[in-house]
Amino acid sequence: MIIGFIGFGRVSENLTILFRNEKIISSDYGRSKQSINRMKKANVEILDDFNQVAIESDLLISANSPSQALEVASEYGSKTKGIFLDLNNISPETSEEINKTVDNFVDGAIIGKVESSPMIYLSGEKADQLVFLNSYLPVKIISDKIGDASRLKLLRSIYTKTVSTTLIETMEIAKEFNLEKEVLETIAYSEGDAFINSALSRIKNTKNSSSRKEEELEEIISYFKDFNDLTMTRATYKKLKRI
């Protein structure tokens, strides 16, 4: 099995570690020095360009950013004879657009921290061809309908991003009164012993990737605008823009 990655960021790097028994390929064309170093460190076979990566891959994975997902799919997904798996936090509408131009498309969503033990949810008619990934990490097929995995990810993101920004705001206020430690302790009293470390990790991650999370929330607001009030989601979006 040859697994190709379009781009090579944090997600690709960590998945490469998990897929240790498979041949991994990517390209350094137009990539940053940081991305190239990641590839070398992970012992990825580096090809001249992404067209070659697409053609040679049995499984081609796109894990870039929501804004680039459709472009990447149109440019490279249509060239692979294998499965094209999108793992970006895209809207179901974007997934459906990709499905119009890419054969063998599978809609995917990574749930959990990619650095540790993530789970991948899949949807689409060809999703069952990726069951072999269960050898490396938990994989769950939720339906044969393109868009369901993306929809599930968006719904989960409404909760997780709202919680994260609420934590940041709470700790900003607590800092003014020098009560940060005590606030975390009081919340942990009801939330459990693991809460403090989890909260600090969530705050750090949100601050370090606020621009990406802001972009993801734009997708959420755009997709669900006709379904819900989205009061908390819109407030979270405004908070992320200020972080």
Q: What is the pLDDT of residues 55-65, one digit of tens each?
A: 999 999 999 88
Beta strand pairing status for 119-123 and 59-62? unpaired
Domain endpoint, select from 144, 172, 187: 144
Q: How far apart, in whole angstroms, are the C-alpha atoms of residue 41 and residue 237?
A: 35
Looking at the structure of the chain, the number of domains it has is 2
Decide: 11 and 64 in contact? Cβ < 8 Å.
no
Q: What is the pLDDT of residues 129-176, one digit of tens each?
A: 999 999 999 999 999 999 999 999 999 999 999 999 999 999 999 999
Task: Report residue 39's pLDDT band, with 50, 70 and 90 as the boundaries.
Answer: confident
Domain endpoint, select from 144, 172, 202: 144
Residues 136 and 35 in one domain: yes
What's the chain's average pLDDT?
A: 92
Residues 11 and 128 in one domain: yes
CATH code where residue 168 lies? 1.10.1040.10
Q: How far apart, in whole angstroms, are the C-alpha atoms of residue 93 and residue 85?
A: 16
How far, CA to CA in Å, does 80 sit from each of 70, 74, 172, 216? Answer: 15, 11, 48, 27
Domain endpoint, select from 144, 163, 197: 144
- Give bridge partners of residue 26 from the DSSP assignment: 46
What's the longest Cα–Cα distance across the chain? Answer: 60
pTM of the full structure: 0.84
Residues 37 and 97 in one domain: yes
